[in-house]
Amino acid sequence: MNTLPPRQMPALAALAWACRRDLRLAARARGELALILVFFLLVSSLFPLSLNPDPVLLRVIAPGIAWVSALLATLLGLSRLFAADHADGTLEQMLLAPAPLAALLSGKVLAHWLSTAAPLVLLAPLAGLQFGLDATSIAMLATSLALGTPLLTWLGAIAAALTLGARGGSSLLGLLVLPLAVPVLIFGSGSVEAQAAGLGAQAHLSLLAAGSILASVVGPVAVALAVRIAYE
C-alpha cells in the first residue's frame, strides 16, 4: 500500500489516487475507526447522566454537546493522519513523487474526512434522539456537522503537519486545534439553536460552508508547505 505513483500525474488524478490508497488502509484498521465512533457516542451520552435530567435543558445544550463530542472524536484520529507515512518513509517519497504534493496530501485529508468525520455526521441523528431533539433540529445538526467538519479536518491536518516529528506532537496538536475550532463550534451549535428559535440558520450555515471552502483552497498549500518544512 505504500507504492507511489509511477509516472507524472495531474493534480486531480493524484488526489484520487491518494484518497483511494488511504481509504483502503482505513478499511484495514476498522477497529480504530470503530473506536472513534464509540468515543463520539460515549462522550455525548455521558453529559445527560451528569446533568439535571430536565428535557428542556437537554434540548438546549444538545447541539453544543454534539459538536464538542464530534471535535474530540475528530482529534483522536488526527495524530495518525501523517504519522504512519512519516514513520515508514512514504511521506518522504511523496515529496519526490512525480505528482503535485498538495494534491497527494489533499487526497489523504479527504480520505480522513470520509473515514472519520462523515460517519459522525451519520451518527448525529442518534445523538440528537437521546437529547429529545425533534426531526427538524436533528436534520439541522447533521447539516451543520456536514458543513463544518471539513473545516475542522483541515485545521487538524495543518496542525498535524506542523507538529510532524515533534516530541509530544499529539499534545501540541490539541493545543493548536482547540482554540481555532471555537468559532466552528459556535456557528455549528448556533445553527441548531437559531432554527429551533425560528430565526433561521442560513447565516450560520453560510459561514460554516464559507470556512470549509476557504480551508479547502488554502489548506492544501499550507499542509504541503508544513510537510516540506518538516523535512528540511
Asked whether residue 133 is domain-assigned, the answer is yes
Q: What is the pLDDT of residue 79?
A: 76
Amino acid identity at 25: L
Encode pLDDT of 146-192 as tens digits: 999 999 999 999 998 888 866 666 677 778 888 899 999 999 988 98
* Residues 154 and 184: beta-carbon distance below 8 Å: no
Q: Is residue 6 part of a domain?
A: no
Cα–Cα dist 47/177, whole Å: 22
Residue pLDDT, tens place only, 214-225: 999 999 999 999
pLDDT tens, residue by residue, 80-135:
788 878 888 888 888 887 788 899 999 999 999 999 889 999 988 888 888 888 88
Residue 131, domain member (yes or no) = yes
| pLDDT for 196 | 81
Q: Hey, what amino acid is at 152?
A: L
Give the pLDDT confidence score for residue 36 in this predicted structure: 86
Note whether residue 5 is domain-resident.
no
Residue 170 falls within a domain, yes or no?
A: yes
Residue 123: domain span:
11-230
Q: Give pTM, 2 decimals.
A: 0.87
Residue at 128 is within a domain: yes
Judge residue 41's burial from the number of C-beta atoms within 10 Å of its C-beta, 0-12 exposed, 13-18 middle, 19 or more buried. middle
Residue 209 is assigned to a structural domain of this protein: yes
Give, rounded to a whole angstrom, the gap between the first and last alpha carbons of the chain: 26
Q: How many structural domains are present in the chain? A: 1
Residue 4, classed as helix, strand or coil, is coil
Exposed / middle / buried, residue 29 (Cβ in 10 Å: 0-12, 13-18, 19+): middle
